Amino acid sequence: MRYTKKARRNKRGHTTRVDIIDNTTGQVVASFPTTGGQSREEGVGIANRDADAELARLNAAAEEAGENYGSREEMQAAENEKERRQRLDEDVAKFEDRITEAGRLREDLAQNVSARRQGQLLSQLQRSILGTGGDAGMVEALTPQITEQSNRTLQDLITGSQAQTQRDLAQFVPREIAANYNQDALSDAMSRFLMEEETQRAQIQANLDGQPEWWETMLGQAAGEGGKGVGQAATNLLTSFISGGL
């Protein structure tokens, strides 16, 4: 076969263009970027289809000129290899999109659980203060500060999730998978990622479901004050925490 197709990738292993190579001279005779489409997967598919059409045209012309295959078997083997490489390119793109989507789902989970947990903490605060002699003004004054602390924790989780997505892309879609066209290596990487993703989601849930250490410390010390002073003690301890005293 006079001409072949080759995917070009960036440092993260993402396909950026598809070239057609003249096997006789080693030169790139045509290049198709993957910038078309609304997703990376679609862009890779469009580039591959355009490259395949040009590849077929060039090889048909070369075959007519007697420059292509030595036998029908050689031609069939080359076509099979081309199809295999195209399927792998598409699978790699799908895997990259799956990793990115997993990150978004982690962040959605963190937001949903954080909102629920914040409501629970505020409810506990209200019961602690009103049930031990405090007044509603204390709850109202401390609510924005509790919200701020919860939002700060949530933002830390989201930032960590976004960094994890970039690490996953680098770890599970290494360049050598696509470069060697190794479908087994890609399947193994996908299996490992799915197992680790389940663990990461469970950890986010556990982190947000548990009582914050500062909250347990505050209520424990407040209860030690005894009697109707518990509500005021809780207020004092929470204020101390927010100002950096705990």
Q: How many folded domains does the chain comprise?
A: 2
Shared-domain flag, residues 128 and 232? yes
Residues 204 and 134 reside in one and the same domain: yes
Q: In this structure, are 105 and 222 located in the same domain?
A: yes
Report yes or no on 78 lying in a domain: no
Residues 133, 228 within the same domain: yes
Domain that holds residue 26: 3-68
Q: Is the Cβ–Cβ distance between 132 and 205 less than 8 Å?
A: no
Residues of the chain with pLDDT under 50: 214, 218, 220-230, 233, 241-246
Clarify whether residues 144 and 190 are in a common domain: yes
pLDDT in tens, 100-141: 888 888 888 888 888 887 787 778 777 776 776 666 776 676
Q: Which of 68, 83, 114 is the last residue of a domain?
A: 68
196 in any annotated domain: yes
Per-residue pLDDT of 143-172, as tens digits, reads 777 787 778 888 888 888 888 888 888 877
Residue 122 and residue 215 in one domain: yes
136 shares its domain with 183: yes
Alpha-carbon span 178 to 87, nearest angstrom:
11
| Domain identity same for 48 and 151 | no
Residue 175 within any structural domain of the chain: yes
